[in-house]
């Protein structure tokens, strides 16, 4: 005997909604659910900094964890989001716990971004030092070797390569140290 079908009255009837057809301020549900749907709707149309997403009446009831994730999401975006407008939006949040958390998180993410930028700058500088040492010692560097050095991000490996560039007898012996 096969499985018996579920009783049709056990689960409420589900209906699909077209989020695109619902105005941002007409979305209904729990505060976290409304917030998530507003963000999902606002993101593709470039309105993440719009008033419907940053509605203080809604934000007063949104969980801090969800709001922190939203702030992290905004900070991780690589598009040309208006950062000063973003910071003004954070300052305008009336819920003190969310505002403080968002400001702290934004500062932390900003500092991490600065540190990452500094690390990338140091790595780039070290790569350039290796390439310059090779160029001074052996003349033009083959593109393949230049490309191989360009993919190395480990600072210790780049430090060792700079030493190898200085003491190697030839480009071939240097390439063997890669």
Do 66 and 80 meet the contact criterion of CB atoms below 8 Å apart?
no
H or E element: which one contains 27? none
Q: Phi and psi (nearest 5°) for 17? A: -115, 150
Stretch among 3-17, 51-65, 72-86, 114-128 having the lowest mean pLDDT = 3-17
Q: Tell me: the pLDDT tens digits for 47-70?
A: 899 999 999 999 999 999 999 899
Q: Which residues does 158 contact at the CB level (< 8 Å), separation at least 6?
A: 123, 126, 127, 129, 130, 152
**pLDDT at residue 165 is higher than 60:** yes
Do 172 and 135 meet the contact criterion of CB atoms below 8 Å apart?
no
């Amino acid at each position: 005997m096969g499985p018996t079908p579920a009783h049709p009255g056990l689960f409420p009837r589900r209906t699909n909604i077209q989020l695109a057809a619902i105005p941002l301020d007409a979305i209904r549900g729990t505060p976290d659910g409304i917030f998530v749907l507003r963000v999902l709707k606002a993101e593709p149309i470039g309105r993440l900094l719009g008033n419907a997403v940053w509605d203080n009446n809604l934000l007063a009831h949104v969980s801090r964890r969800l709001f922190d994730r939203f702030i992290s999401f905004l900070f991780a975006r690589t598009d040309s989001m208006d950062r000063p407008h973003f910071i003004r939006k954070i300052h305008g949040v009336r819920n003190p716990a969310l505002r403080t958390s968002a400001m702290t998180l934004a500062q932390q993410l900003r500092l991490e971004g600065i540190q990452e930028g500094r690390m990338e700058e140091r790595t780039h500088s070290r790569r350039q030092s290796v390439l310059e040492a090779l160029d001074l010692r052996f003349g033009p560097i083959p593109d393949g070797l230049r490309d191989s050095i360009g993919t190395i991000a480990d600072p210790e490996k780049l430090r060792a390569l700079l030493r190898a560039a200085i003491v190697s007898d030839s480009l071939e012996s240097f390439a063997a140290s890669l």
